[in-house]
Amino acid sequence: MLQLLPAQHPVVADVFEVAESVLNCSVYSLDSAMAFSSTVNVQLCLLIAGVIAARRLIAQGIKPDFVAGHSVGAFAAAVINGVISFKQAIGLVNSRASLMENAFPKHYGMAALVGFTQSRLKPYLEKHNNAHSTIFLANINAADQMVVAGRTDSIDLLIQELKKAGIQKAKFLNVSVPSHCQLLAGVSEALKQQMETLPFNEPTIPYASNSTGRLLKTGDAIKKDLWLSISTTVKWFDATTLIYESGARLFIEMEPSGVLAKIAAATFPDATVWNVNETQIDHLGIAWNNYQNKESNT
Amino acid sequence: MENQTSTQSWTRKRDEKKRRLSSMAHLADHAIIKKENIVEALQYLLQPGDKVVLEGDNQKQASFLAEALLQVDTAKVNKLHMIMSSVSLPEHLDIFEKGIAEKLDFSFAGPQSLRIAQMLEDGTLKMGEIHTYLELYGRLFIDLIPNVALVAADKADKFGNLYTGPNTEETPAIVEATAFKDGIVIVQVNEIVDELPRVDIPGSWVDFVVEADKPYQLEALFTRDPKNITELHILIGMLTIRGVYEKHQVKSLNHGIGFNTAAIELLLPTYAQRLGLKGKIATSWVLNPHPTLIPAIESGWVDTVHCFGGEVGMEQYVAARPDVFFTGKDGSLRSNRAFAQVAGQYAIDMFVGSTLQIDRNANSSTVVSGRLAGFGGAPNMGHDPHGRRHSSPAWLDMITSADPLARGRKLVVQTVETFQNGNTPVFVETLDAVEVAKQSNLATAPVMIYGNDVTHVVTEEGVAYLYKTTGEEERRQALSAIAGVTPIGLTADHQTTKSLRERGIVAYPEDLGIRRTEAKRTLLAAQNVKDLVDWSGGLYNPPAKFKNW
């Protein structure tokens, strides 16, 4: 994820330097198949890559009207709209990920479900939870794309039930932490305490909340979302829909992945969706200007 | 009884209007307010708690006045009670966030349906009621009489006469309710000219006009690109033409805006023509100027079309076909949403729509969880108006009893694929609307079309003639028989279905002489938007986003 970034690029160099000064290690040591067995390294890399991508776009004159970050991505979003510094974000994400890793070391996990709406899933989930260890709705990513969290044996049974009911796709994700559900209430509490003493600024642009699906416009509200969202459902479908209803028609996903871009393209067929990658990132300023000209001509 | 006339003023509204107008006289030159003065003028003309209509139709938007309203000083203008047929722009809800407005009565909020639900939940907005168009227009004359109307027109002259042209829509209804009860009518216009093409609204109904910085926003909502019509839509279209239009000889009708009905429009000059139905069905319409109707019009199928509003790109085509469309002396379309809704409610024989969910009793809704989209006009047209008296063959054909007092029924037809997007069943145990009513604390569940008004449901499996069923049980059986492999469809019993087919309560394609393999895209009179332009002889000028050739 970080290996391919041009280390001499001023934005990249600056972000790497700050990260390394906080973490006391080379950023490259976070980024390998082996290092990724720890969620701490994965989350730190996601934060670093996200902030770098956004700053490289902004440096080219691209001006966002809203920021949204999925799960740990919310920390990068809060850096980009000026609520916290990147240095603070590294410290917070480091704690968040470490707390998560130590919270449920075994027998827990998450699964992605595609093809059922929330209202269609609801009765199956209720019925299942009456008989088995509770499964939580961890993400609502699109109208028909959900993620659930809980004990793996219980998730396994739920997957079988849903497959019988004709769901398109239901499969385990390669994660061992049951994120975004009450099981992580302790992590939220610890993060809250850590954030209490930190200075939070007022945002320069609205921030789409994971925990409420609302647009947040104050530093305090964003602070709460940053500590709370790890123990509540990620309402990504609502958050992005609200951004769309508020007038956004161009969605840009930061590195890495492309998953969110796919979701946005499917959810908002008439919107323009880009996902940033190393081959085109330094040319998106031109694409942005073309987009602006096209919009003002129609 | 004491006579109070000597002590009581009967002109309080008129006096208040006069007071407001004179307070801002320095900002107006007769009827004209300069655009740079509009925000200040609004601060004099609006009072806290006023009932204000801000024109947002589902097409035309008074976008300049919406932005101006957003800039007023909240210390001077606040707690407004907004009345809007369509909540479409972000600004429409920003005025609540800023505290300028407090309460909302509306009809349709599709483009803002999540935000409106959230704001209601958060207490940022107080809900009046969610109306159908006709109820909202009606209440403008009863208990939602506007203090101020903020509306949009194409052109004005210096006397305040207005040209609203093809997009007249609901402007006359709003202005009438305001002007004749001493409310204040403020109109944004694209330009002020010396001579209007025609007068759609007389200047004596209008207080102020303001030339906007840019033309009002207008959406092409009724353009369906034929290239997105699938063979499933075509099959459903064929079933509907044979099983409903032909069977009941339906001549007057309204279509929804889905691809199912677009397919039907494009099958009239081909498939229906081969069945010899020209002149026998679908001759008189209340419909927006759908581009997909062009081939049927050009083939002589359509006698007349009255329009709710205009459609971007159809202006020249409509102007060149005055025998079909309602046009003014200047040649351009005259639409009128209120009259079109009345016609759609009482004057036509059939409404054909589509929906996202149908329950086992045929209640249907386009509401999805956590979203408040409202109704628009579909419920006005998608019900049987019991007060109807005039007869027609199709209406009389719905009589199923020998009762000497039996009356006919409007045909209310739902055409749906059993699954939307291939995987979400349309037929469900319980509508999401029930949950939405609870979440948003609504007095009633937001059902679009009530099951007891629905006469026919058509899917790719077949036609259910619900008007022929006796009792709830049989109604459910008929629905199950055409609900495919949805949970509702899987409850169908083979023997029961056989009996329903024998009694003509359910018809499968083979019962109507249709082979599923016949449903090919080559049956469509136009395959894409370019074909529609060709059919129109170049008169149809589609918006850029549809010009993909």
Confidence of residue A220 (pLDDT cuts 50, 70, 90): very high
Q: Do domains A10-103+181-297 and A108-172 have the same CATH topology?
A: no
Confidence of residue A152 (pLDDT cuts 50, 70, 90): very high
| Mean residue pLDDT across chain A | 95
Lowest-confidence pick of B226-240, B351-365, B420-434: B420-434
C-alpha distances out from residue A147 to A77, A214, B482, Å: 22, 20, 33
Query: Average pLDDT, stretch B281-297?
Result: 98
| Mean residue pLDDT across chain B | 95
Confidence of residue A137 (pLDDT cuts 50, 70, 90): very high
Assign A290 to helix, strand or coil: helix
Compute φ and ψ for B387, nearest 5 degrees.
-85, -5
**Is pLDDT above 80 for B6?**
no
Residue pLDDT, tens place only, B166-221 = 999 999 999 999 999 999 999 999 999 999 999 999 999 999 999 999 998 788 88
Residue of chain A whose Cα is closest to the Cα of B422: A115
Q: What kind and span of H or E run contains B184?
A: strand B184-192
Enumerate the domain spans of chain A. 10-103+181-297, 108-172
**Is pLDDT above 90 for A295?**
no
**Is pLDDT above 90 for A106?**
no
Shortest distance, CA B218 to any CA of chain A (angstroms)? 11
**Is pLDDT above 60 for A90?**
yes
What's the CA gap between B444 and B170, in Å, rounded?
A: 26
- Closest residue to A119, CB basis, from B113, B122, B369: B369
Confidence of residue A131 (pLDDT cuts 50, 70, 90): very high
Share of chain A above pLDDT 70, in %: 99
pLDDT for the residue A104: 77
Whether residue B412 contacts residue B405, with contact meaning beta carbons closer than 8 Å, is answered with no
Interface test with A, best of B70, B91, B95, B115 (most A CBs within 10 A): B115
CB interface of B with A, residues 397-456, below 8 Å: 421, 423-425, 428, 432, 435
Q: Do A245 and B115 touch (CB under 8 A)?
A: yes
Residue pLDDT, tens place only, B436-447 = 899 888 999 999
B334 and chain A in contact, CB less than 8 A: no
A298 and chain B in contact, CB less than 8 A: yes
Confidence of residue B56 (pLDDT cuts 50, 70, 90): confident
CATH of A10-103+181-297, one of 3.40.50.2300, 3.40.640.10, 3.40.366.10, 2.60.40.10: 3.40.366.10
pLDDT for the residue B195: 97
Strand B101-108 to B80-86 pairing: parallel
* DSSP assignment of A88-124: HHHHHHHHHHHHHHHH--SSEEEEEEES--HHHHHHH
What's the CA gap between B429 and B443, in Å, rounded?
A: 21
CA B62 to centroid of chain Cα atoms:
18
Q: Do B423 and A144 touch (CB under 8 A)?
A: yes
- Closest residue to A119, CB basis, from B113, B118, B435: B435
Confidence of residue B370 (pLDDT cuts 50, 70, 90): confident
Whether residue A237 contacts residue A209, with contact meaning beta carbons closer than 8 Å, is answered with no
Whether residue B514 contacts residue B254, with contact meaning beta carbons closer than 8 Å, is answered with no
- Closest residue to A144, CB basis, from B112, B424, B435: B424
Apex B93 CA angle, B87 and B95, nearest 5: 125
Whether residue B407 contacts residue B399, with contact meaning beta carbons closer than 8 Å, is answered with yes
pLDDT for the residue A217: 97
Residue pLDDT, tens place only, B435-477 = 989 988 899 999 999 999 999 999 999 999 999 999 999 999 9
A126 and chain B in contact, CB less than 8 A: no
Bridge partners of B106, per DSSP, are B84, B130
Q: Do B115 and A246 touch (CB under 8 A)?
A: yes
Shortest distance, CA A242 to any CA of chain B (angstroms)? 6
What is A108-172's CATH topology?
A: Alpha-Beta Plaits (3.30.70)
Contacts of B438 in chain A (CB under 8 A): none
Interface test with B, best of A66, A114, A116, A119 (most B CBs within 10 A): A119
Residue pLDDT, tens place only, B78-122 = 999 999 999 999 999 999 999 999 999 999 999 999 999 999 999
Confidence of residue B2 (pLDDT cuts 50, 70, 90): low
Contacts of B112 in chain A (CB under 8 A): 245
Q: Do A118 and B113 touch (CB under 8 A)?
A: no
Lowest-confidence pick of A5-14, A212-221, B53-62, B119-128: B53-62
pLDDT for the residue B440: 85
Structural domains present in chain B: 17-218 (3.40.1080.10), 226-532 (3.40.50.1360)
Share of chain B above pLDDT 90, in %: 91
Residue B56 DSSP label: B
**Is pLDDT above 60 for B1?**
no
- Closest residue to B114, CB basis, from A115, A120, A242: A242
Establish how many alpha carbons lie within 13 A of residue B432's alpha carbon, considering only the half-sphere containing its beta carbon.
Answer: 22
Query: Average pLDDT, stretch B353-365?
Result: 95
